[in-house]
A and B are shown apart, each in its own frame.
Chain A
Amino acid sequence: MAMSGRMMGGLLGGALLAVGLAQAQDDTFDEYRSMFGDDNPAIFIVDEGSELWTQARGPENVSLEQCDLGQGPGVVENVYGQLPRYFEDTDSVMDLEGRLIHCMVELQGFKREEIIEGIYSGAGDNGTEMEALVAYVADASQGSKVAVPQSHPEEKAAYKAGEALFYHRAGPYDFSCATCHRQSDKRIRLQSLPNLTEAEGARATYTTWPAYRISQGVVRTMGWRMRNCARQQRLPELQPGSEAVVDLLMYMGVNAEGGSMDAPGLKR
């Protein structure tokens, strides 16, 4: 069931790719996206994530239903817009992907390295467990407001670190996050670049990831998007749930305060 939906999405993706290459203008894509109506192929991946959440799995043969994503064990509704946040049990600030890894290791007994090794779909892959779980959790936050907490000192420190990381230039191309994401109404080739230093751009970005990537036929997570930013900055591979990801996401999330969650989104 889920697989056939996935394959359908892939076919649609192929069709758009052809269109997209010919005329990849934003308005053209918006038109195309509107043709989908409410039919985001991500719904099939959300279903898959829901099953993964409730199934007894891993060496410990337990579900993730005791996983605390910030609102108490097992609560999935409306958690996405309040992450990253400080968790007492690890005494650290964690984002959704880092927290899911933590639960899969601590509750289900999976090996951290193995989760991280296959965390994002590669070329031609049909989706990963992490992508499905993130889609499921994000979907359960649809319509809720972004309210990333800044009450704990560690949360404040993460924001400051995220801001410093955002402007940090490195690598052979001298790029920082800010190189592409501090101005409004700019684009690379035809791809619009969100200004992540302002509420409008930060909200539009924060609230629409994870997203079904039509050209790739899979759900992509924010961690995947950030890893690819780092790759394009000519930097080494950014690791999921790492401090840099958490800090940068804290910076973006706080800047996005008040936005309405609308994920999984639909992107080219």
Chain B
Amino acid sequence: MMKRLMISLFALSLMSGCGQGGNGEQSAASTNPQAQAGNASGNTEQGAQADAASDTNAASAVMAPDPDAILRTSMQARNGVGLDRLDQDSLQIACSNAEDRAGDQAGKLREAAMAAIEFPEDGNYLGDWKKGEAIAQNGRGMQYSDDPDDPNGGNCYACHELAAGEVAYGTMGPSLRNYGQRGQSEAMLKYTWGKIWNPHAYMVCSHMPRFGEAGILTPDQIRHVMALLLDPASPVNKAE
């Protein structure tokens, strides 16, 4: 609960630009109805209003569901994958809806994502496309069935078409065939790196994982995937 409130506070600070002040907790609860359940502090005007509202709703006996609490009683830690995996950050909270939109938080979330991208300090964006291809093919990593000592894969082919020779590609994401035609300008390098690091910097509530931000891939691995996309010698940029 404490963690969730802190996360909510962070979401609030993103939204309003200031997370300070004594009314933080109460406001955070109002931004996140899930956190509100079980929070009985009704000692402020807004809190009292919320309590009154839930009293009214109690007649219909339909409380707002709390998926986080349900998951915590429905899952068990296994092989190093613990319940802390369920802790949501502000972006996950904002994007957990049927519309797939972060609403009025989108701008702040996008800016925060952009500001946190760690670009290579030495300006070296491109590694070895062959290693990148192996990373793109590898769907393992961070599952309780995986060996935590093995490097994570990027699993790019799960969602994207890349090399011409690989027909077993998914269609969740756009085709990246001939991505290298976009060139290697600094803007292109930074955009591609940033998109892999944290796609929400460009499209909030993207379905793509935050490969850099979440520590799924290392900077070196991202360099290799960058080369797979941009190296003219990469099969992504060959006719077949």
Contact = CB atoms under 8 A, between A and B. Distances in A.
B82 A174 contact: no
A236 B61 contact: no
Given A168-B71, A243-B74, A234 B171 contact: no
B142 interface: yes
Nearest to B152: A172
A174 to B, nearest CB: 6
Given A170-B85, A237-B76, A231 B144 contact: yes
Mostly, the A contact residues are mixed
Contact of A188 (B63, B78, B170): B170
Q: Most A CB atoms within 10 A — which of B67, B75, B142, B216?
A: B67
A172 B215 contact: yes
A171 B74 contact: no
Contacts of A267: none
A161 B92 CA distance: 17
Interface in A206-233: 230-232
Interface string A82-99: 000000000000000000
Nearest to A23: B167
A163 B64 CA distance: 11
A189 B169 contact: yes
Q: How large is the interface on A (under 10, 10 to 19, 20 to 34, 35 or more residues)?
A: 35 or more
Contacts of B112: none
B195 interface: no
Nearest to B206: A174
A16 interface: no
Given A170-B85, A173-B209, A174-B91, A153 B62 contact: yes
Interface string B93-105: 0011110100000
Contacts, number: 138
Interface in B34-92: 61-63, 65-68, 70-71, 73-78, 81-83, 85-88, 91-92
User: How many B residues touch the partner, as a band?
Assistant: 35 or more
B168 A189 contact: yes
A234 B143 contact: yes
B172 A188 contact: yes
Q: Is the interface of B mostly helix, strand, loop or mixed?
A: loop
Given A153-B61, A189-B168, A236-B86, A172 B216 contact: yes
A179 B207 contact: yes
A171 B86 contact: yes
Contacts of A170: 68, 71, 85-88, 92
Contacts of B67: 161, 164-165, 168, 244
A239 interface: yes
A237 B96 CA distance: 21
Contacts of B76: 236-237, 239
Contacts of A187: 170-172
Interface of A: 24, 153, 156-157, 160-161, 163-165, 167-176, 178-180, 182-183, 185-191, 193, 197, 230-232, 234-239, 242-245, 247
Given A180-B172, A186-B170, A190-B168, 16 more contacts: A168-B67, A168-B68, A170-B71, A170-B88, A172-B214, A174-B91, A178-B100, A182-B98, A188-B170, A235-B85, A236-B76, A237-B75, A242-B74, A243-B70, A245-B74, A247-B65
24 contacts: A160-B62, A160-B65, A165-B65, A165-B70, A167-B97, A169-B96, A170-B86, A171-B86, A172-B216, A178-B98, A178-B100, A182-B98, A186-B172, A187-B172, A189-B158, A190-B170, A232-B143, A234-B85, A235-B85, A235-B86, A236-B75, A236-B82, A237-B76, A244-B70
